[in-house]
Amino acid sequence: AQSVAQPEDQVNVAEGNPLTVKCTYSVSGNPYLFWYVQYPNRGLQFLLKYITGDNLVKGSYGFEAEFNKSQTSFHLKKPSALVSDSALYFCAVRVTLHAGNMLTFGGGTRLMVKP
């Protein structure tokens, strides 16, 4: 089955420190991978995507993600965390169904950045 997994329910990091939110995927063929962020009482906002090309993808708010084919991972990173980065983060992959393509999401990771 085509899917993504986020192994950590929560990640805690101190402000100013680097952060990593993990994501692994399982798809057939070349993966299209995405990261979204959700702030309280809001919908999901698109952060970045990997389609093809450079394995390091840069996105919104200083976030970046590294595509690693051998490890089937797409971890989200930021060199210096801000308290305002505290939110829910979702990894997603495009999957192909009989009627076309769609996104399937991981279970989400809550990021807590402490001052």
Partner 1 sequence: EADIYQTPRYLVIGTGKKITLECSQTMGHDKMYWYQQDPGMELHLIHYSYGVNSTEKGDLSSESTVSRIRTEHFPLTLESARPSHTSQYLCASSGLTGTNTEAFFGQGTRLTVV
Choice from 22, 72, 77, 103 touching partner 1 (CB under 8 A): 103
Collapse the DSSP code of 41 into the 3-class scheme (helix H, G, I; strand E, B; otherwise coil) and give the result. Answer: coil
Beta carbon nearer to partner 1, 78 or 90: 90
Beta strands in 1-115 (DSSP E): 3-5, 10-14, 19-21, 24-26, 33-38, 44-50, 56-58, 64-68, 73-78, 87-97, 100-105, 109-114
Beta carbon nearer to partner 1, 20 or 38: 38
**Cβ 110 to partner 1 shortest distance, Å:** 7
* 22, 36 Cβ separation under 8 angstroms: no
Does the protein bind partner 1 through residue 70 (CB under 8 A)?
A: no
Does the protein bind partner 1 through residue 22 (CB under 8 A)?
A: no
Collapse the DSSP code of 26 into the 3-class scheme (helix H, G, I; strand E, B; otherwise coil) and give the result. Answer: strand
Chain residues in the site for partner 1 (CB under 8 A)? 32, 34, 36, 38, 41-46, 49, 51, 88, 90, 92, 94, 99-105, 107-108, 110
